[in-house]
Each structure stands twice: as structure tokens, then as C-alpha cells.
A = this chain, B = another copy of it.
Amino acid sequence: MSPVPGGGQPTIVSIARQAGVSIASVSRVLNGLGARRETVERVERAASELGYVPNAVARSLKDGRTRQLTFALPDIGNPAYVAMVRAVQGVTKTAGYRLLLHSTDAVVDDELAVLRSLGDRTSDGLIICPIRVTDDHIDALTCAAGPVVVMGSLPSGVPVDSVRADSVTGAALAVRHLHDTGCRRIGFINGPSDTVPGRNREEGYRAALTECGLAYDDALVVETGFGIEAGARAAGELLGRRPDAVFCANDQLALGAARALHARGLRIPQDVAVAGMDDSVLARSVWPPLTSVDLGSTERGRRAAELLVERLDGTAPIPRGTTATAPPRLVVRASTALPTENTRST
């Protein structure tokens, strides 16, 4: 309540003065090291009387660690990332780290800045989801000033830990499923093709098409952003080409597409089937529930956080450049399975 004469917050000096002991004793008591019964009491009393809170900055300077971790993600509004945040948070909290969230909006310079900022010792480690991977990223990554885990695919050979989704396989899973349920004109709404996820999903789409004996038709593919409105607009364009299904590169796009279909009086899935990716909360929440490919957001978040924490604890000698890949899983819901086929879950 009443801090030191001289204003400001109480420090170990104020406590030492008030308790009539040295600052070393204060430090020891506060850190639970040995001390005489009476010393302990006096220090603790003084500390609580003064409302002492240890200065984390000073402590960090001393021992070179902040007990803070940074998680840099492209879009805090995308439920897939929210799921990751939750998972990361769970691990870091348990491990005694605070989590610093940084929304980069997928701006390359912002991502690079975050990477470089590792050097300012504000946090002990970093998890980053770069949507695009430029040479600058690789450079910044290889000479990062602290441990980094990348969420996403990296060219092989880069000595950085990463946790990746297999969205090539995932996209193929969805397209194949659409084909299985009888769709033959499968439209594709993709995010920007200069992003890693965009590229991979297109690859999966094409591969599955080939596998199913369907021709790739430019007119059935729209490249746009990753947001809901982008999905609605793209679906609008696509509908002129009479697709019997629309596969979307994520659930936000799928949500937008579904709205566009509804608005035009088309039924899902009877007139047009819709599938998304990420299996985010959106997929479960809207009507009809959306078939989606679970790319393991939660698992990847957990894994990335664990990797980072292990690296920091420095216990297990993990090889540099460890890579984990989460297997995709198709979750079929009403937006693709026809009511008469009793194959859908939840």
C-alpha cells in the first residue's frame, strides 16, 4: 500500500531496510532458500506489508531468460489458429511460460520483424506460422537468436524445427470423398497460390482429380483470399459453371460459399455439396454442418509447443531440424453426404 519513501514500487532494498536484514537474505527467503526462522518471518512480513512484487525484468536481465514465449500467427480471427493458440497455451502454461501472441496478418515484413525480435530477449522462444516462405525467412530462421519452431512446411535442409500439416493428402481426401458421393464437377475455391497452404491444397486437388479420372478444368477453380467474404464472392463466380460440389481450402471459405449457395436458393448438398478444411468450430456450428478435413490444428499446436519447451529445458538432446507431421482426417458431415446415405458422423 505505502511504497518506499521516494516513490515507486517496493524492491528488495525496501524490504531489507524494513526487515533490518541484507538484500541477500531477502532474496534467499523470497526464493525459499534456507534462513533462520526469525529472518524468514521478518522478511515475509515486510514483503507483504509493502505489497512487494518481484521485478521480472530485473530477474530476466540477471538470468537471461524471460519465461515468456511468443506465438506469431497470421490471423487471430481464423478459428483454426484459435484452436492452435488454445493448444499452445495449454502446454506453455503448464511449463511455466507466459504466452505472447502476435498477429502478423501474414505480412512478410511483420514476420521477419518477429523473427529478428527474438534477439531482443523479450521472449525465450518462438512459434511462428509463416504463410509464405521467402529466402529472407530462411535466412532469418537459420540465424535466429533463439529457439524457433515453425508451423508449416519448410524446404528440407533448413535446420529449424517444424510441425506441419499434410494438406496435400488432406485436400485429396476431400476431393475423393466428393467423387465417391457422386460429384463429377468439383469446383475449388483456393487461397492465394503464392502461399504454402495454397500451393499444397491445389496439388492435392489436382492429384485427386487425376486419380478419380476427372479432368482439371480451369473454369472450376477460383483463387482468392482465405476469408469468409472471399469465399462468398468466389462461390458466386463459380456457380455460373454449374459445379455439383465446391471444395474450399478452409472452413472460412466454405462458410462463405455455403452462404452464397443459400442466398441463391441452392440446397446443400442436394444441389451442390460443400467441403472445407481445418475442421474448425465453424464446420460443426453452421447448418448444414460442413464436411471438413481435420489438419490437426490442435495437435500441431500442442506438438510445436512441446518441441519448443523441450528445446528450452535443454533436457532431451533433440536433433536440430526435427519435423513432425500431423496426419489429416476427413470428417464427413451433412454438407456432402446425402441424407439417404447414412454415412455421416456427428
Which positions in A face B, CB cutoff 8 Å?
Answer: 1, 9, 51, 53-58, 60-61, 66, 68, 76-77, 79, 82, 85-86, 89, 98-103, 116-117, 119-122, 143, 145, 228, 255-256, 258-259, 262-263, 281, 284-289
Q: A100-B101, A101-B101 are in contact. Are A53 and B120 (CB under 8 A)?
A: yes
**Which residues of chain B come closer than 8 Å to A102, judged between CB atoms?**
98-99
Task: State the Cβ distance, A106 to closest chain B Cβ, in Å.
Answer: 14
A145 CA to B145 CA, complexed, in Å: 32
**Which residues of chain B come closer than 8 Å to A119, judged between CB atoms?**
9, 51, 53
**Which residues of chain B come closer than 8 Å to A143, judged between CB atoms?**
1, 51
**Which residues of chain B come closer than 8 Å to A55, judged between CB atoms?**
61, 120-121
Q: Is there contact, CB below 8 Å, between B145 and A53? A: yes
Q: Which of B85, B100, B116 contacts A100 (CB 8 A)?
A: B100
Q: A9-B145, A76-B85, A286-B286 are in contact. Are A57 and B259 (CB under 8 A)?
A: no
Q: Which of B61, B101, B256, B281 contacts A285 (CB 8 A)?
A: B256
Task: State the Cβ distance, A239 to closest chain B Cβ, in Å.
Answer: 15
**Which residues of chain B come closer than 8 Å to A255, judged between CB atoms?**
285-286
A255 CA to B255 CA, complexed, in Å: 13
Query: Besides A85-B103, A99-B101, 17 other CB < 8 A contacts?
Result: A51-B119, A53-B145, A54-B120, A56-B120, A57-B60, A57-B61, A57-B66, A57-B122, A76-B76, A98-B100, A101-B101, A228-B284, A258-B287, A259-B285, A259-B286, A262-B287, A286-B286
Q: A101-B100, A259-B286 are in contact. Are A281 and B228 (CB under 8 A)?
A: yes
**Which residues of chain B come closer than 8 Å to A120, judged between CB atoms?**
53-57
Point out which of A1, A60, A79, A263 has the most chain B C-beta atoms below 10 A from its C-beta. Answer: A60
**Which residues of chain B come closer than 8 Å to A58, judged between CB atoms?**
61
